[in-house]
Every structure is written in C-alpha cells, then in structure tokens.
Structure 1
Amino acid sequence: MSGWRLQLKQAPALRVDLRGITPVALAELSAAQIERLPVAYGNGRLPLAEFFTIEAGSHEGLLFEGELSRFDRIGWQMTGGQLRVDGSVGDYAGGCMTAGTLHISGHAGLLAACEMAGGTLRIDGDVGDFAASTLPGSIDGMRGGSLIVRGNAGHRLADRMRRGTVLVFGDVGDFLASRMVAGTVAVGGTAGAHVGYAMRRGSVVLSAGAGAADLAPTFVPAGAEAAVFWQLLARDLSRHGGPFEALPQRSIQRHLGDRGTGGKGELIFVG
C-alpha cells in the first residue's frame, strides 16, 4: 500500500468532515484523484486539495500533518491500513473502525472510538467526553478493538461498552463505564463520580486504588478469590507500561455490581 502525506494549508473557518479519507480508500488513487475527493465543509462540499497539500511519501499508509481540531471523523469506519495524525483532531476520531491502526499524536475531541468494532486507536494526548461510547441515538457502544489514551479522558468513557479494551494512563471524568455490558477498562489515574453506574458486566481496573473513585453502595465486596484471573489480566495490561507496568505484583480489592440494576460487573481497586 502506497503512502500519502497530507499537510494542512491553513486552519478552516468551519468544521470539515473527513469521512471516507482512509488508507484503504486512497491506496489505489493517484495524487490528482485524491486532490479532487469531495469532503463536507459547513453546509457544502469542497475538494480535499482546498485544505491539504498532497504528496506521495516513503511511509506506509496515510499521514496527516497539522492542527486538525476542526476536522471531524478522521479514521471513520476504517477497514485496515495505517493512519497517523501529527497533531490534534476533532470529534468522532476512529468512530466505527473495524480494523487498522489510527495514531493521533495530539488530543482528540468528543466521541472518539464510538461504536468501534476492531483495530487500534492510540491517542498520545487527552480525549473528550463519550469516548468508546455510543453514537447519539444508539444503544451499543464500543464493540471490539483497543483504545489507548496516554493523557486524560472526559465524562462517560465506555458508556454502554460491549466488548474490547480501553486504557487511559491519566484521569477520567464522571460516569466511567456507565451502563457497561462487557469488556475491559483500565485507568492509571483517578476517576470521577458514579463509576460503573448501571453496569451489567465487564471489568474496570482502577490502578490508583480504592480512594480514586466514588464507590456506590450498590457495589458489594466480592467473596470469591480471583488470583488466577487477575494475573492473566494484569500481565496483559502490564505490557503497555506506565501506571500498568507493575500490576502483576500488586494486590487488589474486587467489588461486584451494579447490584441496583442486577449487574454482575466488577470494579478492581489495585492496592
């Protein structure tokens, strides 16, 4: 797959929707064809060349360069390949991905990895509210793949999450893993209020310990031992380094819930 480098000319006055601009979609196109690809700009459409200088590169996949915080749906419905952004991006980054790798060196806006079903989304900075969650009006959140955030995350992270893995090296906002159905979420920093609200199943690991979250009374201490399960999970998380590196050597406290809604999920507080 040939590589393409798209360098931002200047920040647009309005928001730009980059859905359809993916490594697989551009792989067989010429530079002239890519320049003419239409993208949504405000209420109209403009060719991609209005915003980017487009040239072939020696790298694999697709590379965006520039401050793209007004560009939404980068990596939307990606089905493979490699996409890198040297800068920050707007909303819906990596939404509905099924395969491939999307790496953002800056921050991401709202609804990153929403309804993601496969692939890997790496964000070196912070991510906004509703990451790994649902699209507005939908009932199923993240369904597979991996979201790795090296900064902080906003509110409602992993809301209605059904499958996959989410790691946040920093802090997260309120309602972490609310209405979660399944999957694994690990947080290296502190969590806001109402962790696991209406959670049904799944695992939430809080590396900063029990004092990092507002534990609802509808979560009860787990009576059964889970040493073998914890070692398998901890070793898998530890390969990402940072606050997760020493997890296999640390003790845990498990709470089950949300019993208020008949849930059987678990909150794992690392000692």
Structure 2
Amino acid sequence: MSGLKLRFKAPATERINLAGITPSKLLALSSHEIARLNVGIEKGGVALGDAFDISGEAGETLTIEGATPAIDFVGDGLDSGTIRVVGNVGSFAARKMSGGKLEIHGDAGDYLASGSTGGMILVSGNAGDNLGGVETGERFGMLGGMAVIEGNIGARAGDKMRRGTVIVRGKTGPGAGSRMIGGTIWAEGGFGRDPGLMMRRGTLIGPSVESLLPTFVDCGKHDLVIIRVIARYLKSTLGDLAPKPMPLFVQKIGGDTATIGRGEILLPAG
C-alpha cells in the first residue's frame, strides 16, 4: 500500500500519543518535520522518528505496523484519507474523527470513537469499554459516523451517544446505550445485562438481551418499516459487513421510563 508507513519500535519506554497524526496533517510537513513530531506523554517527549521506523512518502494513506496497546489516540482528528493499523491499539482511537477511514486489524481499547462526527471505523477484533462514550467534561459521546466491530465490545457502549451507527458482530458488555440520546447500536450477538440505563432516545437492535432494567416496558409486536430502511442502508453502505436483516416482526421494548423514555430496544418477536 502506498503512502507513509510507520513501524513501531518495541518495547515502548512510555505510552505513545498519536493525536493529530493523520494523512492530511502529514502531507503539509517535510520528512524531517514528520520525524521530529512529539508523540510522547512525559516531560521529555518522544520524537515520532524515535518511536517508529518511517518509510515511504506522505499521501492519502498512513499505515502503522507492529501496533500495541501502548499506542493511544490512533486516528484522533482524522478528517480524510485512510489510516490502516496492523496490531492492537490503546484507548481513544478515532477520537473526534470527522471523515476518512480507520482500519484496525486487531483489538481497540477503551473510548473508541469518542466524540467522532463522521467517517468509517473498521475493527477486526474486539473493542473495550465506552465505545462511542462521552469523555469527562464533555456533553456527548459519539456524534456521527459509523463503526463496525467484528468481535465483542465492553461495557457502557454509546454512553451519551447522540448520533451515528455502531455495528457489533459479537456481544456487548453491560450497560450498552446508557444515557443514550440518539443513534443506533446493532449487536448481532446480543446485548449484555441492563442496556439503556437512563436512555432518552436512540435504538438498540439485536437478537437477545441478557437482562432488562425494570424501567423498560414491553410495547408489543410491530412491523417497523424503519428497520428494513436501516437494513437496506447498511447493506448499500457496508456490503458484506452489514448485519443480517431482522425478522419482519420485532418486539419493541421502550424506555428508559426513569427519564423521558423515548428510546427503544428491538428484538425478534417470539
């Protein structure tokens, strides 16, 4: 793959922060300036050229090889182009991403896609807690874009999520959709216990729920056209990565009635 390539020099002496290391930013810099970028978190800092072997030329694609969970903020601020990661990454990947594509061929840590507003995120492994969740001091979590996780995800996915779509091939941890304000989480492997705590709006779609909060109510069996509209849109956008369509009739669970209660959990009707 053409473009700039970074190969991580292990072992890391400190955590690495790749916030703002994006194709569009690197295009504006010389090779010398790229190598001097500070990616350390301690007082002395660490130059990009000391943490990574750098090859190729800056372009629309940035490839990171040998990635480990010691690398945080991969794809932070990504607005165009593609970042392709081979290996696992740490926390806050795709933080405030607005466009482009982030491919992680491995696992992602906590707070994936926190504050993102656009773009496409593909993770071939698992993701940690608070996927699309709100960061301390901010009003909202995920604000747009799409994330597809091939494995499982941790607790409290979509905490204060306002817009966007999360597709999970596996199962979610407990508390998915907590304090959710909008958007969609579709978990093909089902939801863990107590999804939707203090959920105001938004949609959770899946085949099963481990347990429901008592403040969610059964709204009966429905033929919801919007489910088929969402499924067609995802198929046209994601192709083979799209989730399998839900049955014609779904069971709608409304809540959280501890708040305004306009959220919904949609399950196959029995």
Give the structure-1-normalised TM-score.
0.91
Q: How many angstroms does 1:91 deviate by? A: 0.7
State the AA in 1 paired with 2:149. V
Which position in structure 2 is the counterpart of 1:270?
Answer: 268
Instruction: Name the CA distance, whole Å, in 1 between partners of 2:150 and 2:156.
Output: 17
8 Å CA contact retained: 2:24, 2:60: no
Tell me whether 1:244 sits opposite 2:243 in the alignment: yes
8 Å CA contact retained: 1:188, 1:243: no
In the TM superposition, what whole-angstrom CA distance separates every residue of 1:194-233 from its partner, at most 9, and x where no partner exists? 1111111111101x23xx3312232222258443222112
Which position in structure 2 is the counterpart of 1:220?
Answer: 217
Which position in structure 2 is the counterpart of 1:42?
Answer: 42
State the AA in 2 paired with 1:268. L
8 Å CA contact retained: 2:221, 2:252: no
The residue correspondences of 1:90-109 to structure 2 (distance < 5 A) are 90-109=90-109
Which position in structure 1 is the counterpart of 2:5?
Answer: 5
State the AA in 1 paired with 2:114. C
Instruction: Name the CA distance, whole Å, in 1 between partners of 2:29 and 2:211.
Output: 52
Aligned residue for 2:193, secondary structure, equals coil
Aligned residue for 1:244, secondary structure, equals coil
| Unpaired stretches in structure 1, ≥5 consecutive residues | none
8 Å CA contact retained: 1:31, 1:56: no
Question: Aligned residues, how many?
Answer: 266
Aligned residue for 1:54, secondary structure, equals strand
State the AA in 1 paired with 2:258. G
Q: Which moved more, 1:76-85 or 1:42-51?
A: 42-51
Instruction: Name the CA distance, whole Å, in 2 between partners of 1:232 and 1:196.
Output: 23
8 Å CA contact retained: 2:14, 2:40: no
Q: How many angstroms does 1:98 deviate by? A: 1.0
Tell me whether 1:191 sits opposite 2:188 in the alignment: no
8 Å CA contact retained: 1:116, 1:132: yes
Give the structure-2-normalised TM-score.
0.91
Which position in structure 1 is the counterpart of 2:156?
Answer: 156
Tell me whether 1:204 sits opposite 2:204 in the alignment: yes
Instruction: Name the CA distance, whole Å, in 2 between partners of 1:58 and 1:47.
Output: 17
State the AA in 2 paired with 1:255. I
Which position in structure 2 is the counterpart of 1:17?
Answer: 17
Aligned residue for 2:135, secondary structure, equals coil
State the AA in 2 paired with 1:233. I
Q: How many angstroms does 1:60 deviate by? A: 4.2
Instruction: Name the CA distance, whole Å, in 2 between partners of 1:59 and 1:204.
Output: 38
State the AA in 2 paired with 1:107. D
8 Å CA contact retained: 1:31, 1:55: no
Q: How big is the alpha-carbon RMSD for the aligned residues of Structure 1 and Structure 2? A: 2.0
